[in-house]
Amino acid sequence: MCGIAGIFGSEEASNLVYLCLYALQHRGQEGAGITSYDGKRLKIIKDFGLVSEVFSERKKFNYLRGEIAIGHVRYSTHGESSFINIQPLTFSYKNYHIAISHNGNLINLKSLKRELEDRGAIFQTTSDTEFIVHLMAQSKGDIIEERLINALRKVEGAYSLLIMVNDKLIAVRDKYGFRPLCMGKLGNAVVFASETCALDLIGAEYERDVNPGEMIIVDKSGLRSIQFEEPRPHYCIFEYVYFSRPDSRIFGEYVDKTRRKLGKNLAIESPVDDADIVFSIPDSSNTTALGYAQKANLQYEIGLIRNHYVGRTFIHPQQMIRDFSVKVKFNPIGGVIKGKKVVIVDDSIVRGTTLRKLVNLIKKEEPKEIHIRIGSPPIRYPCYYGMDFPSQNELIAYKRSISEIKEYLDVDSLEYLSVEGLLKSMSLPPEQFCTACFTGKYIEPIREYKRSKEEI
Ligand code: SF4
């Protein structure tokens, strides 16, 4: 997963992109980068780390001059974790200076790579994003938009893109619109971002989403739109379940509102008789738990404190320190939990290992009973469209039934929201959503795919 942002038409372009990336930090913590165009050449700063770490010095912004800039926060889904893969990726070709930020995942790379290399392409990265630039360079077309459209017609998969070509800013979304991408205005400047929380931070006004299959081009002559492919909306429902920020509006609806509905439907489907309290596994489950508590007429409590200074993944080479990983992140509040029949709401279970450790921690505070409720169905299938799930074998629900997962977690009960309950919580019709990781129903047959971080 990744987050992208871009500004056209502001002297503060790189500063504003930096702020947008701050708001999008939850979408990727592995690396960050900003590229600006100063009228002659591209300027780029990128590195491993959080946005605040990569852009800690003021002089970096003096370097990133220009009225047009794009940025990226990375969580690798394709391509190994190396410096060359941190985005934006930049290229020079003929008279074009190209920078590209990508959120999504392309899936037909094997055959494309063979085709491109046979025609002389030399790859600089192991990122799927680079394919788009090679395809653009080898496409026919007098103007860059034509070349880009020709390139995009050859790729399969998910892409929300921001591309700077000299003094043009281009925003594109694949025909299914798997990943969100919105557009706003800040005075005369045009802003694009993965989520509306980035627009809110810089005071930009939300205009609309970039439509599935649409390309928006912004340059000195203004803004124009090309619907280059027939839209077939198939939005990633997992963005609502877990990934997007609750204060964002994606796919036409607030994430917070949708998560509350998930919680309400979960409470209707799977009540817990005579429970004392409900609490969430912070932060992504907070509003789902609130929805559950409201519908079940139960007291909503804060039962776990999360340390916000730990990233989404806590990795340490020493086993002794790794054993503390869940404790570093969460601490249960004994006074809230002791002697109570508790309902714990989580958004999803992927491997189940973290939740099991967490249950053990909570048990030390001596609750009377523990009932786990999950605000989405069991994840049984891989995602090919940019969500970095582990391999199918590592998904706990792939080989285990719900009662076996309950045994593994060692809790009094475990229930998931049904697929029907999930879809009922949405504001758009069911056919407009991808639910493949829950149902195995992919919009198109997956003909070729390599799992993330493997060599193409
Ligand atoms: S498979 Fe799941 S995570 Fe991937 S796009 Fe579809 S709903 Fe989203």
Q: Is 162 in the pocket of ligand 1 (CB under 6 A)?
A: no
Give residue limits of the domains in the chain.
2-233, 256-431
Give the residue from 95, 91, 226, 218 showing the smallest Cα distance to 153.
Answer: 226
Provide the 8-state DSSP code for 63. Answer: H
Contact 318, 290 (CB under 8 A): no
Mutational pocket test of ligand 1: of 434, 439, 452, the residue with most ligand atoms within 8 Å of the beta carbon = 434
Q: Is residue 379 in contact with ligand 1, taking CB distance under 6 Å?
A: no
* CA pair distance 46, 404, nearest whole angstrom: 45
Helix (H) or strand (E) holding 404: helix 402-409
* DSSP result, 50-61: -HHHHT--THHH
CA of 318 relative to ligand 1 center, distance in Å: 33
| 178 in contact with ligand 1, CB cutoff 6 A | yes
Is 92 within 8 Å of 48 (Cβ atoms)? no
From the CA of 283, how far away is ligand 1's center (Å)?
20
Average predicted confidence (pLDDT) for the chain: 92
Q: Which CATH number fits domain 256-431: 3.30.465.10, 3.40.50.800, 3.40.50.740, 3.40.50.2020?
A: 3.40.50.2020
Interval 63-75: pLDDT, tens: 999 999 999 999 8
Q: Please list the pLDDT of the chain residue by residue as tens digits (456 residues).
A: 899 999 999 999 999 999 999 999 999 989 999 999 999 999 999 999 999 999 988 778 889 999 999 999 998 655 567 899 999 999 988 889 999 999 999 988 888 898 899 888 899 888 899 999 999 999 988 899 999 999 999 999 999 999 999 999 999 999 999 999 999 999 999 999 999 999 999 999 999 999 999 999 999 999 999 999 999 999 999 999 999 999 999 999 999 999 999 999 999 999 999 999 999 999 999 999 999 999 999 999 999 999 888 765 545 556 566 667 788 889 999 999 999 999 999 999 999 999 999 999 999 999 999 999 999 999 999 999 988 888 899 999 998 999 999 999 999 999 999 999 999 999 999 999 999 999 999 998 887 665 544 444
* CA separation for the pair 403, 256 (Å, rounded): 30
Give the number of the atom of ligand 1 that is nearest the alpha carbon of residue 384.
4
Cis-peptide, bond into residue 332, ω within 30° of zero: no
Residue-wise pLDDT tens digits, 104-163: 999 888 888 988 998 888 998 888 999 999 999 999 888 999 999 999 999 999 999 999
| Residue 216: closest CA among 278, 172, 264, 246 | 172
Query: Which residue out of 173, 175, 178 has the highest number of ligand 1 atoms within 8 Å of its CB and is therefore the one to mutate?
Result: 178
Q: Which amino acid is at 409?
A: L
The structure's pTM equals 0.94
Catalytic residue numbers read 2
Determine the distance separating the centroid of ligand 1 and the alpha carbon of 324, expressed in angstroms. 31
Instruction: Pick the closest to residue 242 from 307, 297, 312, 172 (CA basis).
Output: 312
Contact (Cβ atoms closer than 8 angstroms) between residue 271 and residue 293: no
Q: What is the pLDDT of residues 268-324, one digit of tens each?
A: 999 999 999 999 999 999 999 999 999 999 999 999 999 888 765 545 556 566 667
Longest dimension (CA), the chain: 72
Which CATH architecture describes the domain 2-233? 4-Layer Sandwich (3.60)
